[in-house]
Amino acid sequence: MAENNTLLEKLEGLVSRFEEVSTLITDPNVIADQKRYVKLTKEYKELGDLMAARKEYLQCINGLEEAKMMMSENDPEMKEMAREEAASCEARIPELEEEIKLLLVPADPQDDRNAILEIRGGTGGDEAAIFAGDLFRMYSKYCESKGWRLEVSSANEGAAGGFKEIICSVTGEKVYGTLKYESGVHRVQRVPATETQGRVHTSAASVAVLPEAEPFDVEINEGEIKWDTFRSGGAGGQNVNKVESGVRLRYNWKNPNTGIVEEILIECTETRDQPKNKERALSRLRTFIYDKEHQKYIDDIASKRKTMVSTGDRSAKIRTYNYPQGRITDHRINYTIYNLAAFMDGDIQDCIDHLIVAENAERLKESEL
């Protein structure tokens, strides 16, 4: 029971903090300080999950001790009930210990954020753009199944279909913490629609998943932003072409890690409403700067965790989609399945679950709880 006691000691120290945070989030002064309030609300939820696990864990430990005492009873029915109770508690205690250990390991602070999803056709010309389009459809279906909202910010279509580049914002619960495993190079092996000889070609598309920045994460001097407006092209009725609803922003930003000033250019034609497009362009600017400023943080994690499932390295080849064999292989965890059609239809949760399990195992090993 030594390990149990160690876990309970760790949890005991957090009980008073949970009570303190519970009081703080109802304090009007704290509520007025939006940045602090958001941080404390997040801590309250995390500590709440730990407190719920602690409560059940204590109930199981006490239940097991009571059941063992009841086994010495003469009544056969009572003995049988005690045996069942003991078996149930003995099975649940190790599960709860694993849950508590994971909850005690510090999570990636970005996991709860919304995300910006960027898909780009890589090597393979037209076929790479078509595959980028297939990946976009796969993620659209997956987001729909999760109840998340996916909105396209900008898209550059390929000559033969698909996209040379498509950028979307995804909003919902724990979006970044789930989609971050998709960052990297996705390789496809299949006979392209443009191939007359029936030969299998290999093409690639890259996926980048960035945590969406909150308004107070980065400092932007909005007075220094240069705005242009233009007429949006494409479908959408007469209004799209007559009204200058598309926006383009230019912003000179100094990289704090290198000291170099670079011009950031962002276009948004997402809606027919210019103010909404401005708001979304600003959101993308914040995310871009946040991502750049946190690249050092991501690099530090990657150097510490050479085997990490989600290092944040966007140049690593992570998955192969082999159409002739109907096979998907994730190279990070040697995960292979033969249901390519369902996978491309958005059924990717099982693969993500395996990646989460692998990462959790590494996090536990790293923390040596």
Instruction: DSSP for 109-144, please give it.
Output: TTTTS-EEEEEEE-TTHHHHHHHHHHHHHHHHHHHH
> Which residue, chain included where needed, has tokens 């299998």?
200
Strand ranges, E, within the chain: 115-121, 149-157, 163-171, 184-190, 201-211, 226-230, 246-254, 261-268, 317-322, 327-330, 335-337
pLDDT computed for residue 221 by the predictor: 80
First to last CA, the chain: 15
DSSP single-letter state for residue 213: P
Domain extents in the chain: 2-104, 115-212+307-367, 222-293
Cα–Cα distance, 322 to 200 (Å, whole number) = 10
DSSP single-letter state for residue 261: E
Cα–Cα distance, 328 to 325 (Å, whole number) = 9
pLDDT (tens, 9 = 90+) of the chain, 369 residues, equals 434 567 777 788 788 888 888 899 898 888 888 878 888 888 888 888 889 988 988 899 898 888 888 887 778 888 888 888 889 888 988 888 877 877 776 677 788 889 989 999 987 788 999 999 999 999 999 999 999 999 998 899 988 889 999 999 999 988 998 999 998 899 999 998 777 788 888 999 999 888 887 665 677 888 888 888 887 665 545 544 566 788 899 999 887 777 788 888 988 887 788 888 888 888 888 888 887 776 665 665 555 444 444 444 556 789 999 999 999 999 988 999 999 999 999 999 999 989 988 887 777 776 654
**CATH number for the segment(s) 222-293:** 3.30.160.20
2-104: CATH topology: Methane Monooxygenase Hydroxylase; Chain G, domain 1 (1.20.58)
Tokens of 9: 């000691």
Tokens of 341: 């059609």
Looking at the structure, give the CATH architecture of the domain made up of residues 115-212+307-367. Answer: 2-Layer Sandwich (3.30)
Question: 314-330, pLDDT tens digit by residue?
Answer: 567 899 999 999 999 99
* Burial call 66-105: b when 16+ CB within 10 Å, e when fewer: ebeebeeeeeeeeeeebeebbeebeebbeebbebbbbbbe
pTM of this prediction exceeds 0.75: no
Cα–Cα distance, 283 to 213 (Å, whole number) = 7
Pair 284, 257: CB distance under 8 Å: no
Pair 101, 369: CB distance under 8 Å: yes
Tokens of 38: 């958001």
Cα–Cα distance, 326 to 342 (Å, whole number) = 10
